[in-house]
Chains A and B, each alone.
Chain A
Amino acid sequence: MARVLPALVFGLLAAAPFLGLGQGWAMTLLARGMILAIAALSLWLPVGGAGLVSLGHAAMLGIGAYAVVVLDDARVTEALVVAPVAIAAAALFALATGAVAIRTAGVQFIMITLAFGQMAFFTAASLSAYGGDDGYTLYGRSTVAGARWMQDRLGFHYLCLGLLVVVFLGIRMLLASRFGRVLRAARENPLRVEAVGLSPYPYRLVAYTIAGGIAGLAGFLLANAAEFVAPSFLAWQRSGDLLFMVILGGLGSPFGAVLGALAILALEEWLGHLTPHWRIIFGPLLVLAVLYLRGGLVGLIGARRG
């Protein structure tokens, strides 16, 4: 089951528009789910892969989104330009902040990433040229090689799905590589890694930078999905949400991040329909999940079979 699960879930997402989820609200929700899954995957790499628990990840997402804003304001809406800029900007932020943060570990790392995230948040809120606190409404979605198919619901759906699959497979490849082996080893026992002659720092920094780039991509998509960007994209609450998705899904496998993101979004949506006070149910459910789903959703599905 754990083997075929990703194929099954991606297959369902591909078929969803033809399985009665083709209406506007459902497609919007699905796109949002897939984008947050990409964001959660990008956070999984440092947290699950390298053992670095970051609480400032929304900043990378937000920087990707604000790259879209800045370029939109300059009338640059070509995705082949905008997306690479969004990715590069977020990766650069990750590299610069990671260079400092990765020198620490544990609670210190959490606090430093949180601090950097808040710096980015307040910077975004003070960008009065781009709406400040109120945010910025895009003129429209990015074009791809001049074509407007990101406006198309199905086109955007499959763009998000395609990128999600590519990011997932990419992270899995990364983990299995020599690079990933050093990363995983350093998560388990950094002293052992040093004792065989490898310093964990550069590997962690590169992983953190890659994670930033992927988050930037998710930010680019999120800005296009909403056609609106606000400083709340960078708020620490969103970092917390992402971290929760990763933990709920399970740290043992990157697919956990995908499951966690989709599950939380679906739960929010379902509970929201039941009652306006859905958070009263949502909160305890999350607590129970953390207490009883030690391996996360992925562990649950894997354990049933095994």
Chain B
Amino acid sequence: MAEPILRLDGLRKRFGGLAVTDGVSLEVPPGEIHAVIGPNGAGKTTLIHQVSGTLRPDAGRVVFAGRDVTALSLARRARLGLARSFQVTSILPGFTALENAALAVQARSGSSFRFLRPAASEAALNQAAMDALERTGLADRAAVPAAALSHGERRQLELAIALAMQPRLLLLDEPLAGAGPEETERLVALLRGLKRRYAFLLVEHDMQAVFALADRISVLVYGRIVATGTPDAIRADPEVRAAYLGEDEAA
């Protein structure tokens, strides 16, 4: 197997007496879509926070592209190519869709301590931003203020921002949350189109989407990974069925 783009090594995080992340280790090789699933309260979002750098683990390491990034901030990890989307869409509402993406391009191309030239007239920034919008199907909405976009379009925009960062790993925290059936279909198609070119670590509640997209799935229960494998293997795993999928079927 190729050198993994992301490796989590015995991550632990406690809140008071509660072990929310309890010795999580996993690897994401380049080009893989790796999904983390688990029942509510399993610690999925806490895990994402530790990978992205918004939360410091109590123990363990986060190794990104061969480099130990455990002590680095969200911004530093982002500059190394770790792009994160949020459970609640996080965009710049007063900026146009294009400028939202252009800020991400700007962050990757040279210093932002430039005071004279209007940033909106920098063709290189706009071109790369437009490319990202095109790849997420938002090209015709480039000039629209982000606040005026629909919920699904905002999800697409967040993905465009991530792509504009030229990431090596996309860390998606419930990218389908709150999307309607049609929007979900469009977003799943979009993610499938990006497969192989990027590595993904994906937390998602929509099981249909997860099993359709993921190359491998890790099941998180009470802060521990109880199983990791291909979608078929996970579907067949008795422990997983007991801990998690069974609940769904019973419901």
Contact = CB atoms under 8 A, between A and B. Distances in A.
Contact of A199 (B73, B83, B116): B73
Interface stretch (B3-11, B117-125, B231-239): B117-125
Contacts of A179: 112-115
Contacts of B107: 196-198
A185 interface: yes
B90 A192 contact: yes
Contact of A196 (B78, B94, B115): B78
Contacts of A191: 86, 90
Given A178-B119, A181-B99, A182-B103, A194 B75 contact: yes
Interface string B70-93: 000111101100011010001111
B108 interface: yes
A70 interface: no
B146 to A, nearest CB: 9
Which among B103, B106, B117, B120 has the highest number of chain A CB atoms within 10 Å?
B103
A176 interface: yes
A140 to B, nearest CB: 36
A274 interface: no
B217 interface: no
A194 B74 contact: yes
Given A185-B103, A197-B165, A198-B75, A176 B112 contact: no
Interface in A117-138: none
B118 A188 contact: no
A16 interface: no
B161 A174 contact: no
Interface residues on A, range: 20 to 34
B225 interface: no
Nearest to B79: A197
A180 B104 CA distance: 14
Nearest to B171: A195
A174 B52 CA distance: 31
A103 to B, nearest CB: 14
Which of B78, B84, B164 neighbours the largest number of chain A CB atoms within 10 Å of its CB? B78
B169 to A, nearest CB: 13
Nearest to A177: B115
Contacts of B120: 176
A181 B91 contact: no
A213 B165 CA distance: 34
B118 A176 contact: yes
A173 B115 CA distance: 7
Nearest to B53: A194
B108 A197 contact: yes
Interface residues of B, number: 37
Interface in B183-198: none
A10 interface: no
Among A177, A195, A198, A202, chain B packs the most CB atoms within 10 A around the CB of: A195
B211 interface: no
B222 interface: no
Contacts of A290: none
Interface in B99-144: 99, 102-104, 106-108, 111-120, 122
B94 A188 contact: yes
B95 interface: yes
Nearest to A181: B119
Contact of A195 (B74, B94, B117, B119): B74
B197 to A, nearest CB: 19
A206 interface: yes
B99 A177 contact: no
Given A195-B74, A197-B79, A177 B95 contact: no
A189 interface: yes
B153 to A, nearest CB: 16
A158 interface: no
Contacts of B74: 194-195
A203 interface: yes
Nearest to A172: B118
Interface of A: 173-174, 176-182, 184-185, 188-189, 191-199, 202-203, 206
Interface of B: 52, 73-76, 78-79, 83-84, 86, 90-95, 99, 102-104, 106-108, 111-120, 122, 161, 164-165
26 contacts: A173-B116, A177-B114, A177-B115, A177-B118, A178-B114, A178-B117, A181-B99, A181-B102, A182-B103, A182-B106, A182-B112, A185-B103, A189-B90, A192-B90, A194-B73, A195-B74, A195-B83, A196-B103, A196-B161, A197-B76, A197-B107, A197-B108, A197-B165, A198-B107, A198-B112, A203-B112
Q: Which 10 pairs between the two chains have the least Cβ-Cβ distance?
A: A197-B78, A197-B79, A176-B118, A196-B104, A197-B107, A178-B114, A199-B75, A178-B119, A194-B75, A196-B107
